[in-house]
Structure 1
């Protein structure tokens, strides 16, 4: 293993960490620790599965399939693969996640220091910086991995180390108030939505690995796994540290706890008057690195989709402008209109990842993957229709569909589709193999 490959893996791993680690990733862990107190390690275990392992498997799934998410989508259908990819990129791109990064920076990072600052000016500045740093796709990983991530890590590690060495209040560690901390962490990990981002980021990471000179499948896989190991290690340390800070925060639990208030309480308790500034910088850097990666991914995807008719730079400019306009609406409004649609796209994407990683190298037939995806889609649509029915007071349908979803195994872990999709996969695989032996398989 050469020094160059180690250095490249660290740089790309830092970039991958920063791409995943947005503002939501800072906000979620402390409140998990606050709720679970003495059982915080169990909560970290659950959170790590859905917020660290599952996103990394998204990278692995694309790597198994090829170089881009559309290669993964071929397991169901090339056209449907592009449709799903478009839905994902719009969700984690200009419609939801990119505007949310700027809105979060403003509401948590900017207002904490300048309470009267204009949301419009904040959005313009944020996307001005994003545009400058993402206009050249070949430099994105270097910019994030070599410059922005180290600064972000220094701030986060400083806060975590101080919190471990001198915790604010350890009295909560002797109590275990939450009855199922693992399930809480497991469920909360979905809220990062990093699984959706992972299949898009995979193309950026794999391109960066190839640009560094690792072209053969063996070299490409090795460096990608090494970079993933770096990102996983960073995420595990930071997530675990932030959960511990929440568990030892001594913050009073009320019915309407604001995650941002808890974070400000922790940062101020650990760093005094500098805590607010440090937290604002962390939020800004976390959001900026995520926004740059997503803008870059959006530009690359739609440039490929239109076969170059829309240039990368043109799409990046349009994305920054449209995202800047939506960002002014605020985080809550963005989440309100996005949540139901993400509830359909997310399980479909996770299903494709799970079955590709588990069976992609052994099962070459398309039908079992289509069956698993179709089953998950039906269940996700029932959940969506239940949400809509409840919102518009169609009580009878809402109750019946909700009752059906609750009856499915693993619903408590927010994966009611997992067992039904597995049954569909194996049944169709056996049927397909027995009765359609001459079927054309996937290359």
Structure 2
């Protein structure tokens, strides 16, 4: 009985970590565009937004207890560089300002239609700064009451949407592979793969605190908790994709994700439902921003050996995030794509190769080779995103098998892995 209780506790904790309120905006948008092919969109989104984060957790527990242990399978310097890039992504560059922008567009704007995004950002980060500079129990209280409320609202909205579809007939079509690709790419925007390799240590520490000290017991309890969290994510994300597909919201190139979510909640629950979900999402975004700001402050203060203090890093993080948040959710998502398209395949490569070959191959060189192959093609795509084109390189990459499914990094990573594995064998034979 204790084991089941612990799995449930850790599983819901992991779910809460992955389920950022900003991610609520992605699934309905996917469903709206996928229409009748919403099931294929769920499969694509499930791979990058649900399954891969679980694999991220598993890669950590199979390597040690933190991202440093996973990164050290390649080289300590590589682990540090990847850690910095990941923390910037889930911190002031994307995730933190997105929580503030989501709060303004979904939580504040419906109630205060004349409120400036500048004042919304100032208010949000003033509270974030106060609660991050000296972490308070208030955050835990809000989180403990908020998560059940948000889940009850979402599950209720999904059940009502399934029983009484808003618009059973869709006026547009998308091919199954297009829907899959859309879901797959949008899954990057959850940032959960990046978060999984950073925050897994929290779940592992919680499992050890509950008495699971032995490696075998610890791995079992964390794996079971991960599977529970994965099921919950699939249930919520899948339901939201379905609601988007059946929403009847007019499809256009300038569809705003926040407006779509508010439209669906209003159609199902009315004005009171919109108010309730707006408040819940705003509070969820706030607690997420506080947790991420604390993580950024801790990571970089340790990285600089406290030469730059935690307090100063929190101040810098809040100021930078506040400026970027004013630009709005849609703009943040747009500018995030080149960054995510660059770093996501690199982290996925590290996670998958360590999971598959970690117990068989202990040498660092093959993993460095796999990362080198992925990083090379990711860099070419990143430069192309900034209109810097390398003659002929993009055409070659487009012809790589699986490129059509946004898996252009798979073959280069395999080539790099095998080549460096061969070099390692030759080095040993000498």
TM-score, normalized by length of structure 2?
0.89
> Are residues 1:408 and 2:400 paired?
yes
Contact 1:103/1:327 (<8 A) preserved: yes
Match of 2:416 among 399, 403, 424: 424
1:393 corresponds to:
none
Match of 1:41 among 39, 42, 55: 39
Say which SS state the counterpart of residue 291 (structure 2) adopts. Answer: helix
1:341 corresponds to:
339
Which deviations, in whole Å up to 9, do the C-alpha atoms of 1:315-371 show, x marking residues without a partner? 445533443344234335544554433332222111111111111122101110000
CA shift in 2, pair 1:145/1:273, >3 Å: closer
TM superposition shift of 1:110: 1.2
Which range moved further: 134-143 or 225-234?
Answer: 134-143
Q: How does 1:387-402 map to 2 (within 5 A)?
A: 387-389=385-387, 397=389, 400-402=392-394
1:254 corresponds to:
252
2:276 corresponds to:
278
CA shift in 2, pair 1:99/1:183, >3 Å: closer
TM-score, normalized by length of structure 1?
0.87
1:178 corresponds to:
175
TM superposition shift of 1:46: 1.9
Task: Please give the root-mean-square deviation of Cα atoms over the aligned residues, in Å.
Answer: 2.8
Q: How does 1:10-49 map to 2 (within 5 A)?
A: 10-49=8-47
TM superposition shift of 1:232: 0.9
Contact 2:143/2:284 (<8 A) preserved: no
CA shift in 2, pair 1:300/1:215, >3 Å: farther
Say which SS state the counterpart of residue 171 (structure 1) adopts. Answer: coil
Which range moved further: 397-406 or 86-95?
Answer: 397-406
CA shift in 2, pair 1:234/1:25, >3 Å: same
Which range moved further: 363-372 or 429-438?
Answer: 429-438
Q: How does 1:301-320 map to 2 (within 5 A)?
A: 301-309=299-307, 312=310, 315-320=313-318
1:104 corresponds to:
102
Contact 1:30/1:244 (<8 A) preserved: yes
For structure 1, the residue ranges without an aligned partner over 5 or more in a row are: 391-396, 439-443
For structure 2, the residue ranges without an aligned partner over 5 or more in a row are: none
TM superposition shift of 1:176: 5.7
Which range moved further: 22-31 or 332-341?
Answer: 332-341
CA shift in 2, pair 1:251/1:340, >3 Å: closer
Contact 1:195/1:350 (<8 A) preserved: yes
What is the count of residue pairs matched by the alignment? 429
Q: How does 1:53-64 map to 2 (within 5 A)?
A: 53-64=51-62
In structure 1, what is the Cα distance between the partners aligned to 2:202 and 2:49? 20
Say which SS state the counterpart of residue 74 (structure 2) adopts. Answer: coil
Which deviations, in whole Å up to 9, do the C-alpha atoms of 1:207-237 show, x marking residues without a partner? 3333344333223222222221221121111
Contact 2:139/2:287 (<8 A) preserved: no
CA shift in 2, pair 1:307/1:203, >3 Å: farther
TM superposition shift of 1:57: 1.0
